[in-house]
């Protein structure tokens, strides 16, 4: 028999009303607990920002430079990434299940670099995403491209499935060669993705009017890295994007193709999570390049 308890022995903190915490992720305050919890694995709850490491390139271009051996080059970087964007194949075969950051699973695919890239279809079931404990599923959307309607349809179907289980949907705005990558185009593409169900959007940074892209997108934007540029330029792009309203970066080649991927991801982390200015972060990068941190010897 449970012991008889009296009200006098209990403490109900009657003088302390229960507080409602403000959820720090843009546009996500009305979502359910499960989705908020998954988003908190992607975005650091203290800053609301994410350093997402993108290594999903293999799904259309095979062993990309820097990703030939993910176990050798990427696994040591994981401790510096808030979240990881990748395919189920690499996740299952190479990434240690002890990784604690948010998993963003590539869910669209089809054509390789040998074909028309925009002709993508969904390439993942929501059950597989749940089995792999994904925080988000990611789909490429080609606004203005030849397969615009098909890829928008991929987004809406994926968002329906993901919503059912409280999984976030990341829409990646891909800009075809024939389109101009400017704020006007990105406003259109990002807004369409958010209106149609994306929980977060990955898009490119542009020097002019990027703040109008983030302002008119009601959900968080993470900045795509794009082709490898000098390290200071990549740090500057990240800094400006964040100052102009982005909630993080989703970078691949500018990290794993850097002269020192480990120094680069740490420098980027200082920009994203500690508000370092680009020059300060670059100085840190150069110091690490000259004097890599000594590894403690195991006895
Ligand atoms: C598709 O185009 C994907 O989003 C990429 O594979 C990847 O995430 C791009 O990363 P980055 O441009 O920073 O190398």
- What pLDDT score was predicted for residue 294? 65
| Residues in contact with 36: Cβ distance below 8 Å, sequence separation at least 6, in sequence order | 23, 25, 28
CATH top-level class for 26-289? alpha beta
From CA 186, how far away is CA 3, in angstroms rounded? 64
Cβ of 192 below 6 Å from ligand 1: no
Each residue's pLDDT tens digit, 69-113? 999 999 999 999 999 999 999 999 999 999 999 999 999 998 888
Task: Report how far Cα 180 is from the mean position of its chain's Cα atoms.
Answer: 24
**Mean pLDDT of the region 162-186:** 92
Nearest CA, atom 5, ligand 1: 57
- What pLDDT score was predicted for residue 175? 82
From CA 98, how far away is CA 48, in angstroms rounded? 23
Each residue's pLDDT tens digit, 252-277? 999 999 999 999 999 999 999 999 99
Contact 107, 88 (CB under 8 A): no
Domain ranges of the chain: 26-289
- What pLDDT score was predicted for residue 84? 98
Name the nearest CA neighbour of 248 among 263, 227, 269: 269
Q: What's the mean per-residue pLDDT of the chain?
A: 94
Centroid of ligand 1 to alpha carbon of 58 (angstroms): 10
* 2 has a pLDDT exceeding 70: no
- What pLDDT score was predicted for residue 298? 55
| Closest-lying ligand 1 atom to the alpha carbon of residue 251 | 13
- What pLDDT score was predicted for residue 8? 81
Cβ of 224 below 6 Å from ligand 1: yes
Q: How far is CA 239 from CA 62, 212, 232, in A?
A: 30, 16, 10
Contact 57, 252 (CB under 8 A): yes
**Mean pLDDT of the region 15-27:** 92
Q: How far is CA 67 from CA 85, 202, 266, in A?
A: 13, 21, 18
- What pLDDT score was predicted for residue 179? 79
- What pLDDT score was predicted for residue 164? 97
Q: Give the three-state DSSP class for 280.
A: helix
């Amino acid at each position: 028999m449970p012991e008889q308890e009296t009200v006098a022995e209990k403490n109900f903190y009657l003088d302390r009303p229960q507080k409602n915490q403000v959820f720090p992720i843009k546009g996500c305050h009305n979502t359910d607990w499960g989705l908020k919890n998954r988003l908190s694995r992607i975005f650091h709850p203290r800053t609301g920002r994410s350093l997402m490491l993108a290594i999903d390139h293999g799904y259309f271009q095979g062993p990309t430079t820097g990703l030939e051996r993910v176990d050798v080059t990427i696994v040591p970087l994981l401790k510096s990434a808030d979240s990881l964007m990748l395919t189920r194949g690499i996740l299952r075969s190479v990434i240690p299940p002890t990784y604690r950051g948010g998993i963003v699973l590539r869910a669209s695919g089809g054509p390789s670099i040998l074909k028309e890239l925009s002709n993508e279809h969904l390439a993942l079931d929501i059950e597989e995403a749940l089995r792999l404990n994904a925080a988000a599923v990611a789909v490429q959307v080609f606004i203005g491209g030849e397969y615009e309607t098909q890829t928008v349809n991929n987004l809406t179907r994926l968002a329906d499935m993901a919503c059912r289980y409280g999984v976030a949907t990341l829409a990646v705005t891909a800009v075809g060669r024939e389109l101009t990558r400017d704020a006007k185009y990105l406003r259109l593409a990002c807004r369409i993705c958010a209106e149609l169900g994306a929980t977060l959007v990955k898009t490119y940074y542009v020097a002019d009017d990027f703040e109008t892209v983030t302002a008119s997108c009601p959900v968080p934007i993470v900045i795509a890295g794009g082709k490898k540029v000098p390290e200071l330029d990549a740090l500057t792009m990240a800094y400006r994007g964040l100052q102009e309203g982005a909630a993080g970066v989703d970078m691949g080649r500018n990290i794993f193709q850097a002269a020192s991927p480990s120094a680069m991801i740490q420098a980027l982390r200082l920009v994203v999570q500690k508000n370092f200015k680009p020059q300060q972060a670059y100085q840190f990068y150069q110091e690490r390049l000259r004097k890599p941190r000594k590894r403690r010897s195991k006895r």
